Amino acid sequence: MPKKIAMLVGPNYEDLEFWVVYMRMLEEGHEVKIVGMKKGEEYISKSGGLKVVAEYGADEINPDEVDAVLIPGGYAPDKIRRDPNILNLVKKVYEQGKTIGMICHAGQVGISAGIVKGHRATGSAGIKDDLINAGAEWVDEPAFIDGNIVWGRVVRDIPAYCRLLVEKLKSD
């Protein structure tokens, strides 16, 4: 059963944490919407090489109509965590018990959306202290599922993260 997935993007998004996951979801037959802070905005990847255009602004996405929100890392989370529409989307989808995927710095968005407390969590070592201060339990593992959150650690863990995303969305 294909799922409706919102993938978040922003300036300096991590190239492979977006594109590998995006294409993996398409391979599964899921419908993926590319969601940024504003419809039509173009964002350059962290490496500087890969552009992506937001098909939708976060304000245009109805949380009731998506099955999952996936958040890549890079420096985009530092920007998009300031956007109330982004945070509202993540929070609402989480509260409905639907799947949230976060890898690397994506946990910054999870912190600001107030959804990480009480969860096992991983990501870039650069946000370890912030996750702990937000009430999460830091775990140094490649990828795992905790409740309705799928966590991935860093770029090299994308294959393990994808495997769990595919599995989780199949069971949803």
Residues that bind its own copies (CB under 8 A): 15-16, 19-20, 23-24, 26-27, 45, 47-50, 158-160, 162-163
Beta carbon nearer to its own copies, 23 or 125: 23
- What's the closest the beta carbon of residue 76 comes to its own copies, in angstroms? 15
Q: Residue 146 is inside which H or E element, if any?
A: strand 143-146
Query: Beta-carbon neighbour count of residue 138 at 10 Å?
Result: 16
Q: Residue 164 is inside which H or E element, if any?
A: helix 158-171
Query: In a 10 Å sphere around its CB, with 0-12 CB exposed, 13-18 middle and 19+ buried, how is residue 59 labelled?
Result: middle
Beta carbon nearer to its own copies, 93 or 155: 155
- What's the closest the beta carbon of residue 91 comes to its own copies, in angstroms? 30
Written as six digits, the tokens of 111 are 């912190």
Give the angle 115-17-56 at the CA atoms, nearest 5°.
70
Whether residue 55 contacts residue 35, with contact meaning beta carbons closer than 8 Å, is answered with yes
Residue 172 DSSP class: -
- What's the closest the beta carbon of residue 83 comes to its own copies, in angstroms? 25
- What's the closest the beta carbon of residue 101 comes to its own copies, in angstroms? 15
Please tell me which residue in 24, 98, 105, 153 is annotated as part of the active site.
105
Based on the residue annotation, tell me whether 105 is a catalytic residue of this protein. Answer: yes
Active site residues: 105
